[in-house]
Structure 1
Amino acid sequence: LLSKPKHYIPIHILSKCRAYLSLHKPRSLISMIHRYPSIFEPFTIPWPAVPLNATKLYPQLCVRLTLAAATLAAEELNLQYSISTVLANKLHKLLMLSSHRRLLLAKLVHLAPDLGLPPNFRARLCNDHPDKFKIVNTSYGCALELVSWDTDLAKALPPRESYSRDLIVDRPLKFKQLRLRNGLNLKRPHQEFLLKFEEMQEVCPYNIPAESLAKESIEAEKRCCAVIREVLGMTVEKRTLINHLTH
């Protein structure tokens, strides 16, 4: 009904769609419509004034959505549009984080459920925003390629807030303290490395490309951590399988 220009359909045309509706004879189409009075509303309109129907002066029965159902459908459409914008921004940010500004669709499929992308995102979402990205053919298969850079989206997550140490006397610590989860014990060299790692200046993965850093440098590792943090921030549950990241 929503796909029709005037959002209604005559019953005699709807009866030809029994197989699509899984409504086989002898089940009545009218009884099915009357079974949902809060959704469907039958009404009549006159037959078109054409020579072939000149003898049919009686009105034809049609069906449309009730006012409440039409209002709910409009709200759902607006919600879908807003969600589509949010999901498109996620893909846009992923492309800006990627090294070559493109990602294979076959690889995105693995991460799509964690990002909240619909199953048909390759056919719909990837083609509904040509100003942001486009699908291109590569030697490895179809890929999603960045079209435009968005400075408003190219902003890293804010740094983690400082935590309270819950000390009896509020004074500076004599030794630096590393915050670890309960049960995690690290050797002294690793702790010293992480303390040095935390003291480094934050790296914005959008502004600093991976090619500008040495592959095995601590700065490159800092950027990799920032990229993973950005990806996890886009996921629905703020977590994903490690295999999805290694793809």
Structure 2
Amino acid sequence: MTTTTRLAGPVTGRVADTDWTALTDELDEHGHALTGRVLTPAECRAIAALYDEPGRFRSTVDMARHRFGSGQYRYFTHDLPDPVRELREAFYPRLLPVAWDWAGKLGKPAPWPDDLGEWLEMCHEAGQDRSAQILLRYGPGDWNALHRDVFGDMLFPLQVVIGLDAPGTDYTGGEFLMTEQRPRAQSRGSSTTLPQGHGLVFTTRDRPVATKRGWSNGPMRHGVSTVRSGRRHTLGLVFHDAA
């Protein structure tokens, strides 16, 4: 039986309904921020069910084998399911102003054009031509080591993870973790419980941090705490392709 995964309503409107002023302030302050609901529970279940359709993916990664943690994830092919493609296209223009602002504060290039397709063509011309959209599955005892999803020199500074299962009902544990290496100070950590159907926008690599001498790089890493029970699926939206 074919799984229907198309959204019931315009995803662009759902993403737009997030308070982007407040979300941007939260990103500037902490390097991560929750969106409003962008997927219904039924849509979340439909996307999670795609994990069992291997033809939709270019590769599967066993995290324990690579010492990334424990659990599995799969990279979609470029033939993305409609909800994944629509979500990515809806988030990109909302995140662009933050990306440009952060690049300016850090004195870095801001190569990202208004059009996502144009940016992805630039990635492909630089040798980053593999899809980086990811579907993750965790079971009891699984976890994800702290890391950064860089994939090459062509980098977008923000990405989004969307919870596909209900915390406390479908699974326990599995909080989204972030650590920030602060200038001349100990690292700071945070954890976020990801509500079903909501997105978490977070820093891919570095964010600007205000210091007495101006703006400084704040390197950040992300991971997932140990899942204690049940099964946890998430959808990862990355706005650059992989080498």
Q: TM-score, normalised by structure 2?
A: 0.25
Greater length-normalized contact order (CA 8 Å, ≥ 6 residues apart): 2
User: Could you say which structure has the larger radius of gyration?
Assistant: 1
More helix by share: 1
More strand by share: 2
